[in-house]
Structures are given as C-alpha cells and as structure tokens.
A and B are shown apart, each in its own frame.
Chain A
Amino acid sequence: GAVVSQHPSRVICKSGTSVKIECRSLDFQATTMFWYRQFPKQSLMLMATSNEGSKATYEQGVEKDKFLINHASLTLSTLTVTSAHPEDSSFYICSASSQRGALQQETQYFGPGTRLLVL
C-alpha cells in the first residue's frame, strides 16, 4: 500500500515552454501533497504544500506564479513549471499523506521523482 507515482519520470524542454508534472496516489486518498526540489548531492527542499480543493501554500522564496500547483482531487496533484529556464533544471519529487483510512497520518509517501532538463 501507499504507492505514489509521478509522470513523466524525465522531461527535456526548450527554454520558455511550460512543463506539467503529475503526482498520483494510487491506492489511498491523499489529503495533503507536497512538492520538493532536490539538487545533486543535496537534501530535499520543500517548495509547497497543497491540500485537496484549496490553494497551495508556498515556501518563502518560491515563486507561485512560476510553479503552479493544483490539487484538484484526492489522488492527483500537478506542478506546472511555467516559462521554464535552464536554472529550473532539477529533480522534482512529490509526496503525499492522508488523514483518512488506515495509513499512518503523519507519514509522507514519496513518488519516484521527475528529472527536468531545460535547454
């Protein structure tokens, strides 16, 4: 149980284009989803927290107009990188937790990540 998927696993795009990354909880209802960014050999940096049906809460320094987050259902959250530039190239990871069901409510379950390369 507690499987989280991400799509795509890898994406290459041209500078100025927008890229959408999907995060899905496959076997549970994710009341809260988190988006992280990870640079090589570094820890995870939280970008934003989203709750189903409400606006995402962004961490300080994260541009909400550049990183659009939508959590439209209890199993899907999307991160859209708008007008991507080479400095946006990174590894993006989502995680999910649930306040419902038998899962440990405080635990975050992570997706496999998406590698974004902006040329």
Chain B
Amino acid sequence: AQTVTQSQPEMSVQEAETVTLSCTYDTSESDYYLFWYKQPPSRQMILVIRQEAYKQQNATENRFSVNFQKAAKSFSLKISDSQLGDAAMYFCAYGGLYNFNKFYFGSGTKLNVKP
C-alpha cells in the first residue's frame, strides 16, 4: 500500500519570507499524481497544487511551487512571499490511477505565519 509521510508537524515563517514543506511517499506504481491541499481554520480543503508523476517539470501556481524528485519519492512545497492568509494545515496527498483515484494523505503540517 502507498504511504505518505510529512515529517514536520508544525512550521513557522515570517511574513514575506519563503518556507518549504516536506513530503515523501512510498509506491511501487510508475504513474500517479501528487497534491498539496490547504486546510484553513474553516476546515475547507483547498487544492493548492497538483503534479503528474510522468511530468519532469515541477508544477507552479503563483507563489506556490513544488520540488518533485521522482527517484527519491519526494514532493516538497515551496511558498514564496508568505502571507498571513497562508496560515493553515497543509496536507500532501498521493493519488493512484487505480482504485477510483483513492487518495493517501500525509499527517499534515501546520504552518504559522508571523507578521
């Protein structure tokens, strides 16, 4: 079975600075998808960024970018120019191509943004 590990339970960053959240995963599949979701205090899960494993190019969405290292099974999220609204729980998720796109979630990283 696939497993997803987020080794940083909590992190802090100063407003306007850059922070990187780590995620590693284990799988025997060659094709899959990886996601970062944000869960603010409202508890609504919001898609931050998505990466297809077959693409070598790292995904980017405005201030959010990933460092996808397929051989190392690593998928980190970089947040640039951090804003107070970025404060939330961040979950890394693995999605396979089978089992109707069932997700495997990491345990989450709580990000604090200091003004």
Interface residues in chain A, defined as those with a beta carbon under 8 Å from any beta carbon in chain B: 32, 34, 38, 42-44, 46, 49, 51, 57, 91, 93, 95, 97, 104-110, 112-113
Contact = CB atoms under 8 A, between A and B. Distances in A.
B47 A109 contact: yes
Interface in B80-115: 91, 95, 97, 99-103, 105-108
A78 B102 CA distance: 18
Given A49-B99, A51-B100, A113-B44, A43 B35 contact: no
Given A106-B97, A107-B47, A49 B107 contact: no
A104 B59 CA distance: 14
Contact of A110 (B44, B97, B99, B106): B44
Contacts of B47: 107, 109
Contact of B101 (A43, A57, A97, A112): A97
Given A91-B43, A110-B45, A112-B43, A49 B102 contact: yes
A24 B43 CA distance: 18
B9 to A, nearest CB: 9
Nearest to B46: A110
Interface string B16-47: 00000000000000000101010000111111
B105 A108 contact: no
Nearest to B93: A108
Nearest to B43: A113
Given A107-B50, A110-B37, A112-B42, 9 more contacts: A34-B102, A91-B43, A95-B45, A97-B101, A105-B101, A106-B50, A107-B33, A110-B45, A112-B43
Nearest to A97: B101
A106 B33 contact: yes
Contact of B95 (A57, A93, A106, A113): A106
18 contacts: A32-B101, A34-B103, A42-B107, A43-B106, A44-B45, A44-B91, A46-B102, A49-B99, A49-B100, A51-B100, A106-B101, A107-B33, A107-B47, A107-B95, A108-B101, A110-B37, A110-B45, A112-B44
A61 B102 CA distance: 17
